[in-house]
Amino acid sequence: MKILPYDNLTYKTHLSKEEILKRLSNQTEGKQWIRMSGVFSNQEHKAYEGTINENDFKINRIIGYRNSFLPRIEGEIEEINNENQNFTLIHLKMRLHTFVIVFIIIWLSFVFLGGLFMIFLTSMETENQDVLGLASIVPFLMIIILPVVITLAFHYEGNKSKEFFEKIFEAERLNNLKE
């Protein structure tokens, strides 16, 4: 079971590496530290932001709302040229931002410690023992619910990117060939 979401995908296309890079470049702009939205925004932006190199790329979708669980996409392009077939494989890794992963681990650690403290308080004989017993469940519910919310938000955006890649690369998704 995956606690934090990620995806390793491979696409197969008839397009050349150069054509893939061209199509991706047409849909990708450079990273911006601050992106305005609303009245002051420039609505003319591409679908993705990031960097594209000769054989790989690191991008993420540009969205007009907040989603801390937006997948960071790393791709590697591999041309296959042999006697019978010529095609290109695009290996993608979709991951959470490293800062988000660290924050989640620290936050869940504190929630877990809080839950243990609540259980400790419940074990002591006090007049509010019923309230403490019920309250000690809350941190453990948070530990269960947070990964579900993270996974839903991650895959909501990840599925949009998967459809996008299938379309612009005229590709079919293969089983995970490269982990």
Would you list the domain boundaries of the chain?
A: 7-174
Is residue 60 helix, strand or coil? strand
Instruction: Dump pLDDT digits (tens) for 27-37.
Output: 999 887 776 66
- The span from the first CA to the last CA of the chain, in angstroms, equals 16
Q: Which residues of 163-176 are buried (b: 16+ CB within 10 A; e: fewer)?
A: eebeebbebeeeee
More confident position, 36 or 10: 10
Beta bridge partners of 52: 57
**pLDDT tens digits, 23-72:** 999 999 988 777 666 556 566 788 999 999 999 999 999 988 888 899 99
How far apart (Å, rounded) are the C-alpha atoms in residues 150 and 123? 33
Mean pLDDT of 95-117: 92
CA–CA distance, 157 with 165 (Å, rounded to integer): 13
Question: What pLDDT shows up at residue 42?
Answer: 60
pLDDT of residue 176: 63
Is 178's pLDDT higher than 90? no
